[in-house]
């Protein structure tokens, strides 16, 4: 029992013991690509933040991991979504998930933070640095940000689709995660 109490006290000292809960209704991961110069938006309907712990006053102690179910990609048309699951695109049968794990988090000031760590997508892992902005209103905190991926670097739209004249190489990924139970800024 003493060991449990000591562990709990240590975790509280690092700001990790506070219970934080993702609010799904206020959270989203959106991706925007351009097809023939026209922006096309999609979203992932299923994602998780397992073991999330973030104290804005002690970001170096943060635990941030994001898991994305690639088969949950939605673009509003069943035929397009079926195409996305194929090996040339997201290959969700063989590689069903994408993930990001922050190995370092640093405060940039003004509610802005920089997270760096490995991003895994379609069987490849590469370093990724993401900036996010944290805002708070009442009992809820919201983390927002965005980053660009070159789809060709990740073999998304491979083979005949690797030509970027129809589907552009750049994909903008935007995220918004809403939480309850986060410590104040």
Pairwise CA distance, residues 123 & 61, whole Å: 28
Mean pLDDT of 162-177: 96
Task: Tell me the pLDDT of the chain averaged across its residues.
Answer: 89
Structure tokens that stand for 107 in this block: 């405060």
The tens digit of pLDDT for each residue in 56-86 reads 999 999 999 999 999 999 999 999 999 999 9
Domains and CATH numbers, the chain: 23-180 (2.40.128.110)
pLDDT of residue 51: 75
- Beta-bridge partner residues of 89: none
pLDDT per position as a tens digit, 2-38: 333 333 333 333 334 456 899 999 999 999 999 999 9
Q: What is the DSSP string of 9-68?
A: HHHHHTT--S--EE-GGG-EEEEEEEETTEEEEEEES-EE-TT-B--TT-GGG-B-EEEE
pLDDT of 185 reads: 86
């Amino acid at each position: 029992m003493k060991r449990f109490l000591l562990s709990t006290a240590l975790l509280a000292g690092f700001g990790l013991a506070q219970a934080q809960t993702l609010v799904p209704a206020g959270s989203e991961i959106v991706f925007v690509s351009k097809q023939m110069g026209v922006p096309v938006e999609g979203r992932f309907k299923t994602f998780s933040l397992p073991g999330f712990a973030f104290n804005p006053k002690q970001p170096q102690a943060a635990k941030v991991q994001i898991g994305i179910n690639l088969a949950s990609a939605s673009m509003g048309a069943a035929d397009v979504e079926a195409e996305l699951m194929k090996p040339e695109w997201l290959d969700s049968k063989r590689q069903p998930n994408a993930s990001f794990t922050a190995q370092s988090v640093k405060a940039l000031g003004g509610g802005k933070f920089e997270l760096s760590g490995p991003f895994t997508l379609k069987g490849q892992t590469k370093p990724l640095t993401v900036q996010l902005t944290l805002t708070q209103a009442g009992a809820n905190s919201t983390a927002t940000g965005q980053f660009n991926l070159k789809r060709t670097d990740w073999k998304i739209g491979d083979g005949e689709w690797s030509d970027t004249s129809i589907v552009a190489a750049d994909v903008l990924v935007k995220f918004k995660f809403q939480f309850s139970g986060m410590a104040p800024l």
